[in-house]
Amino acid sequence: MPHRTFFAFMLPSLSAMLIFIALPILSSAFQSLHIEHPRVLIETETCDPFAGCTTETRVDAEATRKLEEAQPAGKFNGLGTYFNSAHLAVADVAEIWRTAPNVWQALSKITDLPFYRALLFTLAYTFVVTPLSLWLGLLIALAVNMVPQRLRGAITYFTLLPMLVPTFLGALVLFWMIDARGLIGAALIALSGNPDLSLKASRTLTWVVLFVHGAWNSAPFVFIVFYAAIQTVPRDTLESAIIDGASRWQQQRFVVFPHLRPIAIFLTLVLIMDNFRVFESIVAFSATAQASSLSVLVFKDLMNGTTRLYGSAAATSMLTILCIALLMMPSMVRSWQTFKGKA
């Protein structure tokens, strides 16, 4: 296909991606170097014949508006926003490091700072939910492969539901059950014998519930992909393994798993991307007090009452993108090697 034709066909799609994905990243990068203008203050003196003269300071709305119009991005701040206490908090970290009696206390204090708290949860979520959903999906696929053919359609239907339901609503449905007045919540209270056990009170419970929701939500996708891949396992190899006396476990271990390996790498890559943006379930579970993620931080900045903190949101966004790039590097390199190997 000639270059001209190729780019003519790609034009709508490519320009949509450049304008709404590539450009915003650049504009965020620019925005992150600026902060909101301070309010312009003026002092006015009001004199009263009885009370004497008083000066009062008030916001000059007109001047503030003019300043904002002249420089809509705000005042240039360099890397200031990145290092302030809402982000990398360099000063606070140094202070904690200096005063804390030991490394563990220092770490536990550092992970109480807003950015590190969010980073910790996001990473924990990514590294717990990714393997959890891979294994859950794989087990469902292996199990479905053993039940009679005619039941598989119905099983697939019900399995798909947690994934296809809008994430926010799926999380709400679980949240209502896990509520202290809900089915699972009441059962947990009865089992644990602790009448105060609730999502609001327990950080551990909140994290576990969010992880479970994550696996519940993405296992169906893993199942579908693995199940399709299992159907393409070469029959000959499997049969010769059976003839050679391989047990059921050995068949899986030495024939099926190696066949699924490249697909598992692909799935890991996709799951890491999706899990790293964890956000909707945290909002649906009203769990922002117990669990915060990088996306939650951006959301909070942008929803910050009347003045949206664009600079702060942009800095968090850039740090998020940096983290994703670091996380994806190994899987990308491995996919690249497989691709090279095939070519």
Partner 1 sequence: MSAATIFILVWLVGAAFPFVWTVWGSFKIQADFFSYGGWRDALLGPRTLQLTGSSFTLENYRGLWFEEAFWRPAANTLILTGSVTLISLAFGTLGGYALARSTHRYAFWVLIAALIFRAMPGLTLISGYLLPFFQFNLWGHLTTAAIVLVALNQPFTLWLLHSFFLTVPRELDESALVDGCTRFQAFRLAIMPVMWPGVVTTGIFSFLVGYSDFVICAMLLSESNQTMVPTTAAFLGSEQHAGKLMFAVAATVSMIVPLFILIIFFQRRIVDGLTAGAVKG
Contacts to partner 1 from residues 76-135, by CB under 8 A: none
CB 294 within 8 A of CB 119: yes
Tell which one of 115, 119, 126, 301 touches partner 1 (CB under 8 A). Answer: 301
Residue 25 interacts with partner 1 (CB under 8 A)? yes
Residue 235 interacts with partner 1 (CB under 8 A)? no
Residue 207 interacts with partner 1 (CB under 8 A)? no
Residue 201 interacts with partner 1 (CB under 8 A)? no
Residue 276 interacts with partner 1 (CB under 8 A)? yes
* Token code pair at residue 255: 């024939």
With respect to partner 1, which residue has the nearer C-beta, 8 or 79?
A: 8
CB proximity list for 340: less than 8 A, separation 6 or greater: none
With respect to partner 1, which residue has the nearer C-beta, 21 or 243?
A: 21
CB 206 within 8 A of CB 179: no
Angle, helices 310-342 vs 294-302, to 10°: value is: 140
CB of 17 to partner 1, least distance (A): 5
Residue 289 interacts with partner 1 (CB under 8 A)? no
Report how far residue 315's alpha carbon sits from residue 28's, in angstroms, rounded to the nearest whole number: 7
Residue 268 interacts with partner 1 (CB under 8 A)? no
CB 313 within 8 A of CB 298: yes
Stretch that binds partner 1, among 37-45, 49-57, 110-118, 279-287 (CB under 8 A): 279-287
Q: HEC profile for 290-329?
A: CCCCHHHHHHHHHCCCCCCCHHHHHHHHHHHHHHHHHHHH
With respect to partner 1, which residue has the nearer C-beta, 12 or 49?
A: 12
Tell which one of 280, 282, 287, 292 touches partner 1 (CB under 8 A). Answer: 280
**Considering only residues 158-177, where is the footprint of partner 1 by CB under 8 A?**
158-162, 164-169, 172-174, 176-177
Tell which one of 67, 197, 238, 321 touches partner 1 (CB under 8 A). Answer: 321
Specify the pairing of strand 52-59 against strand 34-35. unpaired
Residue 225 interacts with partner 1 (CB under 8 A)? yes
CB of 156 to partner 1, least distance (A): 7
Core vs surface per residue 164-178: b (16+ CB within 10 A) or e:
eeebeebbbebbeeb
Write the CA distances from 128 to 21, 24, 93, 144, 228, integer angstroms. 28, 30, 27, 24, 25
Alpha-helical segments (H) within 165-202: 167-178, 183-192
Stretch that binds partner 1, among 75-83, 127-135, 201-209, 259-267 (CB under 8 A): 259-267
Residue 249 interacts with partner 1 (CB under 8 A)? no
